[in-house]
Chain A
Amino acid sequence: MGGAAPAAGAPLVGANSSGGSLKALDGRVRILATAAFALATVSFSHFGPLLIALGGAMLVARLVELPILKTLRRIIAMDMFIAFMILMLPFTTLGEPLFFVFGFPASRQGLVEAALIGLKANAIVLMAMALLSSFEPVELARAMGRLGVPERLVHLVLFNIRYIDLLYRELHRLRTAMRARAFRANASWHACVSMGYLIGMMLIRALERSERILQAMKCRGFTGRLYLDGEERIQRLDLVFAAAFAAFVGALTLWEILSVAAL
């Protein structure tokens, strides 16, 4: 992510797909559905409901036409990130040994727990990407505002969406200039000091930029209010999706509860 050049036209924080057949789905429905799915999935402790949950996330990802390769790359990046913790679990959890690596016993319980965490993390991230990142980020921020998130926090999200991409390009230009002077971002003293100057300079430029933005906003009568017009109405697609999704999450939760009761 860090070394990759920002592709022209594709913003860093932007919709990952056109939205497919769920394009018109309301932002509030997306947020609430993702939250319900995440809360239910994280509390499952059986493989059955978790596998179906992951399948459901895959289905929604297909419906919104997430780009398969790009999504897969991101999910695998996350899995690599958590791999070390998950791979240690079988060896650090007490239980009946299943196999040995260099004389260390890997317990069955640890293996099961590692698999459960991996499934949960993947299912939730995939569903979040499917429902939330296939949507215009600005619309998402507006939906947060309509769900009662404080105005100032929504403003902060909107500013981040607008300026992350712009500042990342600026950072990239500055780093290209550094690279042209044979700079390498290794962990040497010189590299750390140069990076510190780079970040410091970015912050100074950011503050100066924000002063100009504030003047421009004041000029247009900004008082901190967030204006949410009434165009975003709940449509039939929203109701159908919400009902189907609630049935899906409800059924999985029921399955989990019955599995726990059966033990």
Chain B
Amino acid sequence: MHIVDGALTLPVIAVGSAITVAGIGLGLRQMPPEKIPAAGVLSATFFCASLVHMSIGPSSVHLIVNGLCGIVLGWAAFPALFVALLLQAIFFGFGGLTVIGVNTANIAVPAVIVYYLCRRGVVRSSPQVAAIWGAVGGALAIALTTGCVALALSFSGDEFIPAAKLVFFAHIPVMAIEAVLTAAAVYLIRRVKPELLDAFSAASPDLQPVLAAAPEASLRSTQS
């Protein structure tokens, strides 16, 4: 799913990078100093989850879990996923550097969309219904991600359109896997530690400008 350096045209790279910079900005506002450890450890967990492989017949796919990432982290999914892709590109040689903005947008935009569409269902309803919302979020995030990849490729040239279609169809089994997996994870979290769902996504960034503008003050208030 990672797009490599050299495949995209300059305007596509510029648009993707602009979206990612804006998303990271909004995400960082969700991370006052007292939330930094939680954001750091949770994003490291999502990084590790993406190293898990599931075998489908003779081949295997790695998890993306960007739907779950959006449900748990909200807008903070943007910086979290950016850091994950950056470290992967540098230390594992996976993905690309000039396209990192596009690659981040491709998985973080669906994460934020899932956050807005599925969060209410995941948090408010019974654990069983929450699991169904989790499944919707898990599948939707992958579908949207393949859609974004396809869009980025097809804007870069018509010759990429067959590859983009292939990406979409190749990911249908991944959607099914991630749907079941996200549902199970959401069910477990609702049963064991529902506070996890309030750690980040309690309010959208525009609803908490005061907290974001005065992180030191909010830290002081939690300390007292």
A residues near B (Cβ < 8 Å) are 1-3, 13-14, 16, 34-35, 38-39, 41-43, 71, 74-75, 77-78, 81-82, 84-85, 88-89, 91-94, 110, 113, 116-121, 124-126, 128-129, 132-133, 137, 140, 150, 152-153, 155-164, 166-168, 171, 184-187, 189, 191-197, 199-204, 206-211, 213-214, 217-218, 222-224
Q: Is the CB of B49 within 8 A of A199?
A: yes
Q: Is the CB of A207 within 8 A of B219?
A: no
Partner of A120, one of B5, B42, B63: B5
| Residues in chain B near residue A224, CB distance under 8 A | 32-33, 36, 215-216, 219
Stretch at the interface among B103-111, B156-164, B202-210: B156-164
Q: Is the CB of B91 within 8 A of A133?
A: yes
| Residues in chain B near residue A41, CB distance under 8 A | 5-6
| Residues in chain A near residue B48, CB distance under 8 A | 164, 167-168, 171, 202
Q: Is the CB of B36 within 8 A of A78?
A: no
Partner of A157, one of B68, B86, B185: B86
| Residues in chain A near residue B44, CB distance under 8 A | 159-160, 162-164, 166-167, 206
Chain B interface mostly: helix
Q: Is the CB of B86 within 8 A of A159?
A: no
Partner of A132, one of B28, B80, B90, B219: B90
Partner of A192, one of B40, B53, B177: B177
User: Nearest Cβ in chain A — how far from B144, in angstroms?
Assistant: 20
Q: Is the CB of B53 within 8 A of A81?
A: no
Q: A89-B159, A160-B87, A207-B42 are in contact. List 9 more A-B contacts (CB 8 A).
A: A84-B166, A117-B4, A119-B6, A121-B6, A133-B90, A157-B86, A160-B84, A202-B45, A207-B193
Q: Is the CB of B159 within 8 A of A171?
A: no
Q: Is B181 an interface residue (CB 8 A)?
A: yes
Q: Is the CB of A222 within 8 A of B33?
A: yes
Q: Is the CB of A124 within 8 A of B98?
A: yes
Q: Is the CB of B39 within 8 A of A92?
A: no
Q: Is the CB of A160 within 8 A of B83?
A: yes
Q: Is the CB of B189 within 8 A of A223?
A: no
A206 and B91 in contact, given A185-B53, A224-B36 (Cβ under 8 angstroms): no
Complex A-B, nearest 8 residue pairs according to Cβ-Cβ distance, in ascending order? A159-B40, A196-B184, A224-B33, A120-B6, A200-B185, A2-B53, A200-B188, A192-B180
A159 and B180 in contact, given A42-B6, A78-B94, A125-B93 (Cβ under 8 angstroms): no
Partner of B42, one of A77, A129, A161, A203: A203
Within the assembled complex, what's the spacing in Å between the Cα atoms of A119 and B85?
A: 21
Q: Is B183 an interface residue (CB 8 A)?
A: yes
Within the assembled complex, what's the spacing in Å between the Cα atoms of A116 and B4?
A: 12
Chain B contact patch, size range: 35 or more
Q: Is the CB of B45 within 8 A of A196?
A: no
Q: Is the CB of A34 within 8 A of B83?
A: no
User: Nearest Cβ in chain B — how far from A18, in angstroms?
Assistant: 15
A207 and B4 in contact, given A92-B160, A133-B91, A222-B33 (Cβ under 8 angstroms): no
A160 and B4 in contact, given A77-B93, A210-B40 (Cβ under 8 angstroms): no
Q: Is the CB of B83 within 8 A of A153?
A: yes
Q: Is the CB of A124 within 8 A of B96?
A: yes
Q: Is B66 an interface residue (CB 8 A)?
A: no
A121 and B91 in contact, given A153-B24, A159-B37 (Cβ under 8 angstroms): no
Within the assembled complex, what's the spacing in Å between the Cα atoms of A126 and B39?
A: 30
| Residues in chain A near residue B51, CB distance under 8 A | 1-2, 168, 171
Q: Is B129 an interface residue (CB 8 A)?
A: no
| Residues in chain B near residue A171, CB distance under 8 A | 48-49, 51-52
User: Nearest Cβ in chain A — how far from B99, in angstroms?
Assistant: 8
Within the assembled complex, what's the spacing in Å between the Cα atoms of A207 and B49?
A: 15
Q: Is the CB of B196 within 8 A of A88?
A: no
| Residues in chain B near residue A118, CB distance under 8 A | 6
Which residue of B2, B34, B159, B186 has the most chain A CB atoms within 10 A of its CB atom?
B159
Within the assembled complex, what's the spacing in Å between the Cα atoms of A210 and B24?
A: 21
